[in-house]
Amino acid sequence: MSTDSSNQAPLVAHLLELRNRLLKSVLAILILFVGLYAFANDLYLIVSEPLRLLLPAGSSLIATEVASPFLAPLKLTFFVSVLISVPYTLYQAWSFIAPALYKNEKQIAIPLLVSSIFLFYAGVLFAYYIVLPLIFGFFTTVGPGEVTVMTDINNYLNFVLKLFFAFGVTFEIPVATYLLIKAGVTTVAALSKKRPYIFLGCFVVGMLITPPDIFSQTLLAIPMWMLFELGLLAGRTVKVVVDGSEEENEKTQATQ
């Protein structure tokens, strides 16, 4: 009985710690949400600016549902709150798993954690400043001249948030590639041989996770492929470092 109790105690302690860190993350999101809610309409104006700047004269965003003017900015405010809280949430996750890691694992994990946050934000910014203006610049000029462009604010927000999430996640490809090589799941040589299939796969993924238009699919697939190449470069660097350390170990053993 005493042995079982002693074995269960660490598990209960870990579960309690996990619960506390999850609660802290949720609380951080709620605090940000409450603080940003007063600026909900301003946030929506910022997010909708890429389309509003390109709308023809006489066109505007509209609300086709009664609750859309309230729910759309509310949804956006929650998304922004989650987006801003990502570093703190990842810090809580890191604090939970760090005690179980070795020193060398921590030295690798910290740069990966920082780069993951940076790449996710870079993906969102790339979608906002590059992808959205290109997509809307095309769509607002190809329609019939007699048709007035009036996009529903809720549909627009769903479209934009989907792109933000898609680009934020796919910008993590260098980290994922590095981890696969570091863990020994694959090698740089093996991935290099599969480059044509990966290039084709980028377009397939772009087709599946972006809105059904060739422009957003291409604008996602090309960066995905370039980020994959960046991951290969990081993998080659890791390989060189590992090989160098092994050579130093061999020389040390030989001198001894």
DSSP 219-247: HHHHHHHHHHHHHHHHHHHHHHHHHHHHH
Give 202-251 pLDDT, tens digit per residue.
888 878 776 666 777 788 888 888 998 888 888 887 644 444 444 444 44
Distance CA 80, CA 88 (A): 14
- The pLDDT of residue 9: 60
Distance CA 78, CA 74 (A): 6
Distance CA 214, CA 207 (A): 8
Q: pTM for the full model?
A: 0.79
- From the list 80, 8, 10, the residue with the least C-alpha distance to 38 is 80
Which residues contact residue 137 at a Cβ distance below 8 angstroms, ignoring those fewer than 6 apart? 54
- The pLDDT of residue 71: 92
Identity at 128, one-letter amino acid code: Y
- The pLDDT of residue 176: 86
Give 28-50 pLDDT, tens digit per residue.
999 999 999 999 999 999 999 99
CB 62: neighbour CB atoms within 10 A? 13
- The pLDDT of residue 102: 77
- The pLDDT of residue 59: 77
Residues of the chain with pLDDT under 70: 1-9, 142-147, 210-213, 238-256
Cβ–Cβ < 8 Å for 232, 191: yes
Which residues contact residue 203 at a Cβ distance below 8 angstroms, ignoring those fewer than 6 apart? 217, 218, 221
